[in-house]
Structure 1
């Protein structure tokens, strides 16, 4: 009984953390948008309220498995998360971040393409695409079925790929920031970076905007590797 209570507390705490992280990050970039692109979200208040509602529901779907895994790590050492800096070579620290991002990106690309099949689009993914145009509040605006496909990735990876707890925090920070900035309708990154050789391999707001405009292209999350390999990369939005 005490174990179940501890799991419930961990799940509730992680849900609260995910929700607050979403509200703070999306709120910050929405504020930045109001300063850098005044009027960009004009007339979108009803849409934004829906985005926030779906996103807070998604916070629970992300938070519950994360809380269970966090409890298992702390109480039973279930995962491959480590805390000692010398437990693995230092060169492995950035590599582990890349491995997590690439694995997540791979899962996202293929599950995202699957969600664009007519049946599953109607059941689940249409909720996300109701954001037209997407805003800084839309990053977690998912139907529960779609949120579940994203919520299981990192909790499963920590059982397979060793990672320092600080690097795991970096992965979650990158995931949050790119999720929000790629939906806010304008590129906050310098033009020279977006149009550079490095930028041509990264997902940016203008790249993801084209996905929301045209649907059947630009499916990636962090990188354009799978889009390029599979012929679904159509470049940046013309907006």
Structure 2
């Protein structure tokens, strides 16, 4: 899992490259492009090759409403992405792809780890896979006192590859429909441990100046390491191609 591309300028890509780009991201889960020279508008234009932009519903930026600003520094009490998650899964139709560019890097650390949702699922026993494949889970986020939530299958069929993928994460998945609270909590705790210990199915992206990362939110989930405090880590994320998850069975 994971591919690093060098010698390619994303400004040279056009709509004719869209299908090939989607296939590559789907196949590899995450791709990292080095030595790019992009401003925020250019990043949004590149991301749009993957599909329609999904504006962040909670924090639209004044100058770039199609992009989400990530920023953590010495005054931060938490870090964006400091848990295993897929982006915006509390939406009814979450984005299929995310594109991230950092413009301020810490002196050390700040890597992003990725884990394959398909490989995680395949590592489980067939009986357990069949069990969770019949379940739906609630994904939610609270913002300004409002609960934003959606229910999705715990095992989804990827819309391009057709592969079954685990679709539950510790960032936003809060409960499992049809189970008692104690059963739901125990199952989600087991899945969190499975993800955390799934080092055989992970890769890490180390950030450099000019790095752009693209990942598939159904094929992988990710975790941004907050190991750089009190340094600053800032950047822009664009999410694209709203896709309502569909059950694998």
Instruction: Point out the structure with the larger strand share.
Output: 2
TM-score, L = length of structure 1: 0.26
Instruction: Point out the structure with the larger helix share.
Output: 1
Highest RCO, 1 vs 2 (Cα 8 Å, sep ≥ 6): 2
